[in-house]
């Protein structure tokens, strides 16, 4: 009898997005559609140095928009940075926000919008569906290919007092427009290309095996896995090759659409704990944790993980093919394919190389099991199991 799970109720939310070379040049055109006098441009120092922030501000100015710049954004955006940005937005009388950068400027821009529309403190909105009033217009221009923040309903902010990353999940945080221009990713160095690309892979994998997945998110997630496997190493080797950069931008977009709606899993829950507690790079933490979490989850969604292995290039049939292996062999083939991709991208470090010690594990695990991303992991992991995964990832 045919499986009727595809008829289960599922929502799918996405912004308008423009993809392709030249998309960034449309920033001014889209901003003036909102009939606002002043626009807050949120970016970071690296994006300013690369020249992309000025390019976008020039587009805004040509369209007649007055621009206010805010660049006080850390790699893992802090709660107080959001509040500083919201204060600038209010003091300058801004009516819309344009975010130019990776996940950090885009998440901070979402936080500024939340506070500007709803008041209070950004930490008041932790959790799902806690933002009652829609945010001001938000246009996002990603300069990395990995976070998917330009199309997602997530904002990840560091609570500096508790040293933990909080997740704000709300349809009000979905940008109004995403302008995705592969040209803007050409200034990423090889390391950032690798870390953000593996972040996209992790989004796709976790969305595909999520217990909130659907046929729509499955379609985007598996396509993103294929693209990451095909384009990541080549984008690192040929940073100005628009086919490779465009392929990774599409992977990031597809993965973002998938995880925004299917949510994530234990990899992100554990990476959020690492980022909040020890201020570590998110993409690299995901890359380190991914094979270990996949191994722990495999038995609870074997057919889905096998499909991921095939998407990464593992042969399904023939000598040594996936279909001829037992469950243990298929799991090893999957983990091997992920590790091969990681190593081809130059990502070989463990958590201990990032300064994580065994003494940190209990604290990290205690915070990870409370992260909302754990709710959609394929199985419920105990505190002890999470501690074991951290230990294996050292």
Residue-level pLDDT at 381: 98
- 254, burial (CB in 10 Å: exposed 0-12, middle 13-18, buried 19+): buried
Residue-level pLDDT at 2: 58
Confidence band, pLDDT 50/70/90 cuts, at residue 177:
very high
Confidence band, pLDDT 50/70/90 cuts, at residue 212:
very high
Whether 44 and 113 map to the same domain: the answer is yes
Q: Is residue 9 part of a domain?
A: no
d(CA 375, CA 390): 19
Residue 17, beta-bridge partner list = 178
- 185, burial (CB in 10 Å: exposed 0-12, middle 13-18, buried 19+): buried
Stretch 12-31: mean pLDDT: 96
Stretch 32-57: mean pLDDT: 96
Residue-level pLDDT at 254: 98
CATH code, domain with 123 = 3.40.50.1970
- Could you report the per-residue pLDDT of 88-119, keeping only the tens digit for each? 999 999 999 999 999 999 999 999 999 999 99
Residue-level pLDDT at 10: 81
Residue-level pLDDT at 8: 82
Residue-level pLDDT at 319: 82
- Kindly report which listed range (76-80, 136-140, 319-323, 376-380) carries the lowest average pLDDT score: 319-323
Whether 216 and 78 map to the same domain: the answer is no
Whether 154 and 251 map to the same domain: the answer is no
Burial 201-225 (b: 16+ CB within 10 A, else e): bbbbbbbbbbeebbebbbebbbbbb
Residue-level pLDDT at 60: 97
Q: Is residue 5 part of a domain?
A: no
Question: When comparing pLDDT for 372 and 1, which is higher?
Answer: 372
- Per-residue pLDDT at 3 exceeds 80: no
Whether 169 and 299 map to the same domain: the answer is no
Q: Which of 153, 185, 217 is the last residue of a domain?
A: 185
Whether 275 and 215 map to the same domain: the answer is yes
Whether 98 and 229 map to the same domain: the answer is no
Cα–Cα separations (whole angstroms), residue 272 to 25, 150, 164, 264, 368: 34, 19, 7, 12, 7
Q: How many domains does the chain have?
A: 2
Cα–Cα separations (whole angstroms), residue 120 to 112, 123, 211, 247: 11, 9, 33, 40
Confidence band, pLDDT 50/70/90 cuts, at residue 234:
very high
CATH code, domain with 250 = 1.20.1090.10
Whether 108 and 216 map to the same domain: the answer is no
pLDDT exceeding 90 applies to what percent of the chain? Answer: 93
- Per-residue pLDDT at 1 exceeds 60: no
Q: Is residue 1 part of a domain?
A: no
Residue-level pLDDT at 37: 87
d(CA 153, CA 11): 12
Whether 231 and 379 map to the same domain: the answer is yes
SS3 47: helix
Stretch 211-225: mean pLDDT: 97
d(CA 270, CA 268): 5
Whether 218 and 318 map to the same domain: the answer is yes
d(CA 152, CA 207): 13
- Per-residue pLDDT at 150 exceeds 60: yes
- 57 lies in which domain range? 16-185
Q: Which of 161, 185, 209 is the last residue of a domain?
A: 185
Whether 172 and 207 map to the same domain: the answer is no
- Could you report the per-residue pLDDT of 253-300, keeping only the tens digit for each? 999 999 999 999 999 999 999 999 998 999 999 999 999 999 999 999
Helix, strand, coil fractions of the chain, as percent rounded to 5? 60, 10, 30
Q: Running DSSP on this structure, what letter comes out for residue 3?
A: -
- Per-residue pLDDT at 365 exceeds 80: yes
Residue-level pLDDT at 143: 98
Burial 353-381 (b: 16+ CB within 10 A, else e): eeebeeebbeebbebbbebbbbebbbbeb
Whether 196 and 175 map to the same domain: the answer is no
Whether 257 and 365 map to the same domain: the answer is yes
Instruction: Write the DSSP assignment of 196-264 as a string of letters.
Output: HHHHHHHHHHHHHH-TT--HHHHHHHHHHHHHHHHHHHHHHH-TT-HHHHHHHHHHHHHHHHHHHHH--
- Per-residue pLDDT at 34 exceeds 80: yes
d(CA 46, CA 40): 18
265 with 370: CB under 8 angstroms?
no
């Amino acid at each position: 009898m045919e499986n009727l799970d595809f008829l289960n109720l599922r929502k799918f939310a996405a912004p308008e997005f423009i993809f392709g070379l030249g998309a960034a040049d449309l920033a001014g055109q889209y901003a003036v559609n909102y009939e606002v006098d002043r626009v807050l441009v949120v970016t970071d120092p690296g994006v300013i140095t690369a020249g992309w922030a000025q390019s976008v501000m020039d587009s805004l100015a040509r369209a007649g928009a007055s621009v206010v710049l805010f660049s006080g954004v850390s790699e893992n955006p802090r709660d107080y940075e959001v509040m500083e940005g919201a204060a600038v937005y209010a003091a300058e009388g801004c009516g819309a926000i344009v975010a130019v950068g990776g996940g950090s400027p885009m998440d901070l821009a979402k936080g500024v919008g939340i506070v500007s529309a709803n008041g209070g403190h950004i930490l008041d909105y932790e959790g799902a569906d806690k933002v009652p009033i829609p945010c001001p217009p938000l246009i996002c221009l990603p300069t990395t290919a990995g976070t998917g923040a330009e199309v997602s309903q997530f904002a990840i902010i560091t609570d500096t007092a508790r040293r933990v990353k909080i997740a704000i999940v709300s349809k009000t945080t979905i940008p109004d427009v995403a302008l995705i221009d592969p040209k803007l990713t050409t200034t990423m160095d090889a390391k950032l290309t690798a870390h953000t690309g593996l972040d996209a892979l992790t989004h796709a994998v976790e969305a595909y095996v999520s217990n909130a997945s659907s046929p729509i998110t499955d379609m985007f997630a598996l396509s993103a896995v294929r693209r990451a496997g095909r384009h990541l190493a080549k984008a690192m080797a040929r940073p100005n090759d628009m086919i490779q950069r465009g392929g990774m931008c599409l992977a990031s977009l597809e993965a973002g659409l998938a995880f925004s709606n299917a949510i994530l899993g234990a990899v992100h829950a554990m990476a959020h704990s690492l980022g909040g507690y020890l201020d570590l790079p998110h993409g690299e933490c995901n890359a380190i944790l991914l094979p270990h979490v996949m191994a722990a989850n495999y038995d609870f969604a074997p057919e889905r993980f096998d499909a991921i292995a095939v998407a990464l290039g593992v042969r399904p049939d023939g000598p040594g093919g996936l279909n001829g292996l037992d469950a243990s062999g298929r799991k090893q083939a999957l983990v091997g394919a992920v590790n091969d991709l990681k190593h081809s991208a130059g990502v070989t470090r463990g958590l201990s190389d990032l300064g994580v010690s065994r003494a940190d594990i209990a604290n990290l695990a205690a915070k990870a099991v409370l992260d909302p991303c754990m709710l959609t992991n394929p199985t419920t992991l105990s505190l002890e199991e999470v501690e074991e995964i951290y230990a294996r990832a050292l």
